[in-house]
Amino acid sequence: MIRINQIKLNIAQPEAALEGRIRKLLRLKSEEFSYGIVKKSLDARHKDSLIYVYSVEVSCSGVDELKKVRELNDKNIMYTDAVKYAFPEISLGKDKKIVIVGSGPAGLFCGLFLARAGYKPVIYERGASVEERSRTVKAFWENGELDLNTNVQFGEGGAGTFSDGKLNTAVKEKAGRIRKVLETFVEFGAPREILYINKPHIGTDILEKVVYNIRREIECLGGKVFFNSRLTGISVKDGAVCGLCVNGNENVSCDRLVLAIGHSARDTFCMLKDIGLPMEPKAFAVGMRVEHPQSLINRYAYGTPESGLLPVADYKLTAKAQNGRGVYSFCMCPGGYVVNASSETGHTCVNGMSYSGRGGVNANSAIVVTVGPEDFGYGGVLGGMEFQRKLEAAAYREGKGTVPVQLNEDFTAGRASVSPGKITPQIKGRYAFGNLREVLPEFICESVIDGMKYFGKIINGFDMPDAVFAGVESRTSSPVRMLRGDNLQSTGIKGIYPCGEGAGYAGGITSAAVDGIKTAEAVASSVL
C-alpha cells in the first residue's frame, strides 16, 4: 500500500478532487486504484488561504507499489503495511465466569471484545440504561432532583456520554487498538469521518446510540448487562477474588473481576480501601468552566466570526502563573454547554457537553490547575477524593443548590456577580450568580486570574470582563490509582483487573476504551 502525505485542498474544493491529485502524484495513467483518507486536518495559519491537508493510503491494481515509491523518490510518498489489530491467543477457559463492574467506555469495550472472543461476560452497572438515563438526567437539569445512581457520572456509557464526545487521545501504542476503537465506534453508528479527522468527536446525541448498540451486541453474543446494580462488596479466598456483592444483598461468584468503575465511584473507592486493594493518591486538576461567544473563538482561529464551510473552532491554552503553578484549558467544547454533573447530595460539580452539530452560541472549556497530595490537606489514599468533596460542597452552598456562576471581572475583583453581562450562560441545569472566590482555594484563584490575563494575549478578548465562570470543575480525572502489575491484575488481589479512568489508567473516552481492550486481552490470556 502507498501512503501519500501533505495533499492540500482549498476549503471550498470537494474531497472528490483527491482522486485527480493522487493520479497525478503517482503518475498513473489508465491504472485503476482505490484510496482511503487516513488523516484530515485544517491548516489555518494563513487566514486568507485556509486549506485542508490530507494523508491517504492508495492501493493500485497491476502496479509494483514498492517499486513505484522508489521511482518517485518523494518524501511525502512512502510504502506502508497497515497495522491490523488482532485479539491475542486465548488461555483462559471459556467456562470461567468473568464479571465487569461499570459500563463506561472501558467496561463496554472490555465486555465487547471478551464476548467476541467467545466468552459470556456479565456487566453490572450501578445506573440505568442509556435510554432511561437520558430521561433522568434531563429531569435533574430541569427540576434539580438528583438520582444518586443515575446521573451525569453514573449509568450506561459512563461520564463520557454527557460530554463533547472527543475521541482524540495522547496515548501512543503500536498494536492498532486506537484505530480499532474508532472503527468500532463507526461500526455501531458513529460517522465515518472520525477515522481520519484530526480531532474526532461524535457528540452526546450520537454517543447515546452507539452505547446502546454496543450493549445489544454484547447481549446478542451471550453476555449479560444488569442495570441499577451497584457493587457493594468483594469476596476474597486464598488471595484471589471469588465473588462480589451487588446492592448489598445479592452474592455473585466469579473467577475474574474487572473494575471499570469510573472516576466518581467514591463509595466504591471506600469499599476497596477497606478490603485492602492496593491504591495510591493521584494528582488531578481543579478549576472552573469558562464561557465565551463561539464567534470570538472562530475569529481567533479563522479571522472571521462565522465558520461557514469550516467546523466551529476550538483552542488549547497553557500558561504558568506567578505562583509557579501551571494553568491550562481542558476538555474544550465548541458550540457546547456547561452541565451540572453532580452525583452526591449537597455537592455541585460541572462538566462540558456538546451535541454532534456543536451548534450552541457559546464555547466553553475548563480552566484548571493541577493539584496533588501536598495540596489535599488530608492524609491517606483518599485525600484527593475528600479534597474534591470539600470544593463541591462549597460550590453547592454558593449556588444555593444550583451551579454558581460569576463574571470574569467580578472573579478578579473578588466580588459576587448579580447578573449576566453580554454573555448569557449556556448551562444544562439551574444556576445562580455568586462568588467563586468563596469556593476555590486562593492558590487556584490566583493561578486562574494570571492564566486568563495571559490567554487574553493569545486570543484577543479571552479575558473579557463578561466571560462567565461556572464551578466547580473537579472531576477531570480519578483521584486515585489502583496498583496493577504487568499482567494488569491488582498487585494485591489475584483475579481483579483495575481498568480505565476510575482505576487511574486512562483520561478520556478513547484511552479508556483502549484500556478496556487491553484488559480483555489480559483476562483472556490469564492463568492465576
Q: How far apart are CA 106 and CA 351, in angstroms?
A: 20
Q: How far apart are CA 465 and CA 366, in angstroms?
A: 17
pLDDT score for 378:
79
pLDDT score for 170:
78
Q: Provide, for the chain, the percentages of residues in helix, strand and coil under a 3-state DSSP scheme, each rounded to the nearest 5.
A: 30, 25, 45
Going across the sheet that includes 427-428, the strands are 350-353, 337-340, 427-428
Q: How far apart are CA 155 and CA 129, in angstroms?
A: 6
What is the mean pLDDT of the segment spanning 146-154?
Answer: 97
What is the mean pLDDT of the segment spanning 440-464?
Answer: 98
Task: Work out the mean pLDDT of the chain and round it to a whole number.
Answer: 95
Does position 164 have pLDDT exceeding 90, yes or no? Answer: no
pLDDT tens string 19-74: 999 999 999 988 899 999 999 999 999 988 999 999 999 999 989 999 999 999 99
Yes or no: say if 211 and 190 are a contact pair by the CB < 8 Å rule: no
pLDDT tens string 278-335: 999 999 999 999 999 999 999 999 999 887 889 999 999 999 999 999 999 999 999 9
Does position 409 have pLDDT exceeding 90, yes or no? Answer: yes
Q: How far apart are CA 178 and CA 516, in angstroms?
A: 11
Contacts of 419 (CB under 8 A, 6+ apart): 433
Yes or no: say if 427 and 337 are a contact pair by the CB < 8 Å rule: yes
Q: How far apart are CA 470 and CA 431, in angstroms?
A: 9
The per-residue DSSP string of 219-257 comes to HHTT-EEESS--EEEEEEETTEEEEEEETTTEEEE-SEE
Q: What is the dihedral of CA 141, 147, 151, 156, to 10 degrees?
A: -140
Res. 528 pLDDT band, cuts 50 70 90: low
Yes or no: say if 388 and 368 are a contact pair by the CB < 8 Å rule: no
Res. 390 pLDDT band, cuts 50 70 90: very high
Q: How far apart are CA 462 and CA 116, in angstroms?
A: 48
Cell numbers representing residue 515 in the block: 484500556
In 372-511, the DSSP E strands lie at 403-407, 427-428, 431-433, 468-473, 480-482, 496-498
What is the mean pLDDT of the segment spanning 412-430?
Answer: 97
CA distances from 513 to 129, 207, 271, 483 (A): 19, 13, 25, 19
Give the pTM: 0.95
What is the mean pLDDT of the segment spanning 214-231?
Answer: 98
Percent of the chain with pLDDT over 70: 100
Yes or no: say if 168 and 510 are a contact pair by the CB < 8 Å rule: yes
Secondary structure tally for the chain: helices H, strands E:
13, 24
Q: How far apart are CA 491 and CA 468, in angstroms?
A: 45
Half-sphere exposure of 91 (CA within 13 A, CB side): 7
Contacts of 82 (CB under 8 A, 6+ apart): 1, 57
The per-residue DSSP string of 39-59 comes to EEEEE-SSTTS-EEEEEEEEE
Which helix (H) or strand (E) element contains residue 65?
helix 65-72
pLDDT tens string 68-105: 999 999 999 999 987 889 999 898 899 999 999 999 99
Q: What is the dihedral of CA 388, 474, 247, 517, to 10 degrees?
A: -130
Which helix (H) or strand (E) element contains residue 452?
helix 442-458
Cell numbers representing residue 221 in the block: 453474543
User: What is the CA 212 to chain-centroid distance, rounded?
Assistant: 18
Class of residue 168 by CB neighbours under 10 A (exposed 0-12, middle 13-18, buried 19+): middle
Half-sphere exposure of 218 (CA within 13 A, CB side): 26
Contacts of 64 (CB under 8 A, 6+ apart): none
Residue type, 437: R
pLDDT score for 173:
82
